[in-house]
A and B are shown apart, each in its own frame.
Chain A
Amino acid sequence: MTKNKNLILVTNDTLVEKINKECQESSNTFLFPIENFCVGIPKTFKLEEITEESLIFINRLLDKDGIENFKVLLKNLPKNIKGIVFDDIGILNILLETKSTLTKILFLNHANCNYESINAFLEYVDSVVISTDITTEETKEILKRAKKPLVVYAFGHVAIMYSRRTLLSNYNKHFKTNIDNEITLKEGISKEEVKAIENIYGTVIYTNNPFNNLKLRKEDNILYNLINSVYLHDEEVISIINSESDMSDTYPYKYLSEEETIYRIKEEKI
């Protein structure tokens, strides 16, 4: 049987050791969010803290200073860093200009919803993370038509809003309160909940439940199944890695994968 190739976003100090110990049957690659280059992640890492052969994760949109700092980071990458998963197109340009040999994976959050866009980017990168905002059928068609193996967001809470503003700090200042930088927000009418997390680079809102997309992990043309460990216990991540089932009984949330979103209210007239 083909092993699942997992790419695990590491967001605490204990997960790597536990996975190495308890998930030896699977093929696991670690993805480390890098300090000062990420938003919406409770624990980020300095390069010297990463000892495994790994990929690094940068999900911040970078301003002038941020992009200059990235150039410095790139020059100082140790040999165990084999690749990079990133959102900012500026990083792509730098990697191309410097002829970087790193594995380049573009995670343009909320874009890359069709096979033409993905194939266009595959001329510049090794792989692309398929958007979470499309249906299962759309994802399958993309996998079928993509020119290179892709990354599927297989499991995890989904970042559904990224603001440059420090919204939780602003709330504290305005109301003279002391809410934490990780909170749950409940919408006033529907009572639906989401999670918010802030650092100095901005605020990210996540779905309240983890998106279970594990049913796709046996599809063809997948480079990695991405598992985002934000808000998950280590034991949950381990059980997901070790499970051969889609775990839909335990984690039923399907996010946007089953119902196509609507957008055009008026009829077309040509």
Chain B
Amino acid sequence: MIELLAPAGNLERLKIAFLYGADACYIGGYRFSLRANAINFSNSELKEACEFAHNLGKRVYVTVNIVLHNKDLEGLKEYLEELASIGVDAVIVSDIAVIKMIKDNNIPLEAHISTQASTLNAEAAMFYKKVGATRVVLAREASREDIKDIKDKTGLDLECFAQGAMCTSFSGKCVLSNVFTNRDANRGGCAQICRWTFDIADEKEPFSMTPKDLNMARYIEDMIDIGVNSFKIEGRMRSVYYIATIISEYRKIIDKIKMHNLKPSDILYSNDIMNRCANRESTPQFYDKFPGEEEQYYLGREEVSNQDFLGIVLDSNENEILLEQRNYFKIGDVVEFFGPNMEPFTYTITKIYNENHENIDIARHPRMLTYLSDLPKMSKGTMMRLKVFDKNDYL
């Protein structure tokens, strides 16, 4: 089984992730989840998420991965039982108390060990297997040799991060946020102090420890070969556009690997698309080498924002589409549509209509409704972006 695992901060993002090709989504409830500032899911939304996923033959994992304090234990058993009754496929945990509670109370939930446990070796993975875990999400610091050894010696289901932001620290081993802001990093309140800058006495240049993002696109085939089962995309706080873009690119890569027709040019093109969407550079980090000077930034946050995401299709018929604007576009712009189960295609905007079907030159208002004509019928949720890269240039 090879799984593409997407983040989802709310129901809209979950549905987009599945539409664009995710096999499973990981989400958080209102308690016990490490992204306290994501919108997250109420119990009724968790139920809807599971029903939506299961109707598509897909899976939902719920993060219960905070480091629990005494008072966090209150209501934990009831919450786990509720998740099981809702039909959640697994919980992602870092605290052994959660696994023990599941086991002692025979709660029918799979437990996946969170990357917060920073598992780097087969012996650690074997311990978690013995206490009842069915999968381990490995530390982002694991190298190819570490991953292969863990798979060979444990046979466990292995989940590895494929794309997204990196912590500077081993996950779970940082409380900079607690110390500088009193926001608890290991209970979902991380203030990302590792993206701040510091001064060093007698040195002109500021000190920063911000890593570049992770990007494993060119190693997915190799990771499949050594036994990785699930490819995780980081980012429960990310937008629908980010999720759609990253998931669709990794979906194509994995499908082409399965069909034995993945070409180097496919990866180059996907990486350009993904890096532009993420606004940051990305690299394979620890998989193929020990990351050094080139794998981090030196001036804190280094992000170049863009307004590539122009709109999302709400409706479509044989002649026109109804598009909700997300960024300014105008007549003459060369754009690209990409969406579920379709090849991206280029389109030059020659006419724009407002919601009253009146001609306009520019769609300038956020979320305004527009009609575009002379387009094929396409699925709801298809996205329009500024065309920056041409696939033909990579052939």
Which A residues lie at the B interface, using CB under 8 A? 61-64, 66-67, 88-94, 96, 109-111, 113-117, 120-121, 131, 133-134, 138, 141-142, 160-167, 169-171, 173-175, 177, 179, 183-188, 190, 192, 194, 203, 205, 207, 255-256, 259, 261-266, 268-270
- Among residues of B, the one whose C-beta sits closest to the C-beta of A139 is B70
Contact A264 B36 (CB under 8 A): yes
Check if A261 sits within 8 Å of B207, measured CB to CB: no
Q: Which residue of A lies closest to B100 (CB)?
A: A120
Instruction: Determine the distance from Cα of A179 to Cα of B206 in the docked complex, in whole angstroms.
Output: 12
- 5 closest A-B pairs by beta carbon, nearest first, are A90-B123, A263-B189, A261-B184, A90-B124, A116-B97
* B118 close to A (CB within 8 Å): yes
Judging by beta carbons under 8 Å apart, are B169 and A163 in contact?
Answer: yes
Could you tell me if B96 and A266 are in contact, using CB atoms closer than 8 angstroms? Answer: no
Q: Which of B140-148, B226-234, B333-341, B372-380 contacts A (4 or more CB under 8 A)?
A: B140-148
Would you call A120 and B96 a contact (CB within 8 A)? yes
Distance of A237 from chain B, by nearest CB (Å): 23
B residues 86-100 in Cβ contact with A at 8 Å: 94-97, 99-100
B175 within 8 A of partner (CB): yes
A94 to B123, CA, bound (A): 7
CA distance A166 to B101 in the complex (A): 38
Number of A-B residue pairs at CB separation under 8 A: 227
Q: Quick check: A165 and B124 within 8 Å, CB to CB?
A: no
Query: Are B203 and A177 touching (Cβ within 8 A)?
Result: yes
Say whether A63 contacts B101, CB under 8 Å: no
* 20 pairs, A vs B, C-beta closer than 8 Å: A63-B143, A63-B146, A64-B120, A64-B121, A113-B69, A114-B72, A120-B96, A163-B169, A164-B170, A165-B168, A184-B201, A187-B196, A261-B184, A261-B187, A262-B189, A264-B187, A264-B188, A266-B36, A266-B37, A266-B39
With an 8 A cutoff between CB atoms, is B366 at the interface? no
Closest chain B residue, CB of each to CB of A202: B170
B residues whose Cβ falls under 8 Å from a Cβ of A: 30-31, 36-37, 39-40, 42-43, 66-70, 72-73, 94-97, 99-101, 117-128, 130, 139, 141-143, 145-146, 149, 168-170, 172-176, 178-180, 182-184, 186-189, 193-194, 196-201, 203, 205-207, 209, 211, 286, 291-293, 295-296, 298
- A161 CB contacts on chain B under 8 angstroms: 168-169, 173-176, 194
Having A188-B197, A188-B206, one finds 8 other A-B pairs with CB under 8 Å, namely A89-B117, A90-B124, A142-B70, A167-B168, A167-B296, A171-B298, A175-B203, A175-B205
User: Across the interface, do A268 and B194 meet the contact criterion of CB distance under 8 Å?
Assistant: no
Residues of B within 8 A of A263 (CB): 36, 66, 183-184, 187-189
User: What's the least CB distance linking A257 to chain B, in Å?
Assistant: 12
Choose one: B68, B196, B298; the contact of A113 (CB below 8 Å). Answer: B68
Q: Given A90-B124, A263-B184, A117–B97 Cβ distance below 8 Å? A: yes
Contact, CB under 8 Å: B198 / A111 = no
Cβ-neighbour of A165 out of B126, B179, B193, B211 (below 8 A):
B211
Residues of chain B within 8 A (CB-CB) of A92 are 124, 127
Looking at the assembled complex, report how far the CB atom of B334 sits from the nearest CB atom of chain A, in whole angstroms.
Answer: 38
Closest residue on chain A to residue B126 by CB atoms = A93
A263 to B30, CA, bound (A): 12
Shortest beta-carbon distance from B343 to chain A in Å = 40
- Cβ 8 A contact of B70, one of A115, A186, A190, A269: A115
Q: What is the CB-to-nearest-CB distance from B76 to chain A, in angstroms, rounded to a whole number?
A: 9
Q: A173, B37: Cβ atoms under 8 Å?
A: no
Bound-complex Cα distance A268 to B45 (A)? 13
Give A109 to B70 CA distance when docked, in angstroms. Answer: 17
In chain A, what residue has the closest Cβ to B42? A269
Q: Whose C-beta in chain A lies nearest to the C-beta of B187?
A: A263
CA distance A160 to B199 in the complex (A): 18
Distance in Å: Cβ of A107 to nearest Cβ of chain B: 12
User: Would you call A192 and B30 a contact (CB within 8 A)?
Assistant: no
Complex CA distance for A116 and B97, rounded to whole angstroms: 6
Contact present for B183 and A64 (CB under 8 Å): no
Q: In the complex where A114-B68, A269-B30 touch, is A174 in contact with B293 (Cβ < 8 A)?
A: yes
User: How far is it, in angstroms, between the C-alpha of A173 and the C-alpha of B295 when the chains are bound?
Assistant: 12
| Chain A residues positioned under 8 Å from B117 (CB to CB) | 89
Q: Closest CB of chain B to A186's CB: distance in Å? A: 4
Which of B99, B142, B198, B206 has the most chain A CB atoms closer than 10 A to its own CB? B198
| Chain B neighbourhood of A63, CB < 8 A | 120-121, 141-143, 145-146
Complex CA distance for A133 and B184, rounded to whole angstroms: 9
Q: Are B179 and A183 in contact (CB under 8 A)?
A: no
Q: Are A110 and B175 in contact (CB under 8 A)?
A: yes
CB contacts (< 8 Å) of B118 on chain A: these are 61
Q: What residues on B are CB-neighbors of A205 within 8 Å?
A: 176
Per the bound structure, the CA–CA distance linking A252 and B286 in Å amounts to 40
On whether the beta carbons of B122 and A67 are closer than 8 Å, the reply is yes
Rounded to whole angstroms, the CA-CA distance of A162 and B141 in the bound complex is 12
B142 touches A165 (CB 8 A): no
In the assembled complex, the CB of B41 is this many whole angstroms from the nearest CB of chain A, namely 10
**What residues of chain A lie closer than 8 Å to B145, measured between beta carbons?**
63-64
Given contacts A162-B170, A261-B184, A266-B36, whether A67 and B121 have CB atoms under 8 Å apart is yes
Evaluate contact between B188 and A160: CB separation under 8 angstroms. Answer: no
Q: Are A177 and B205 in contact (CB under 8 A)?
A: yes
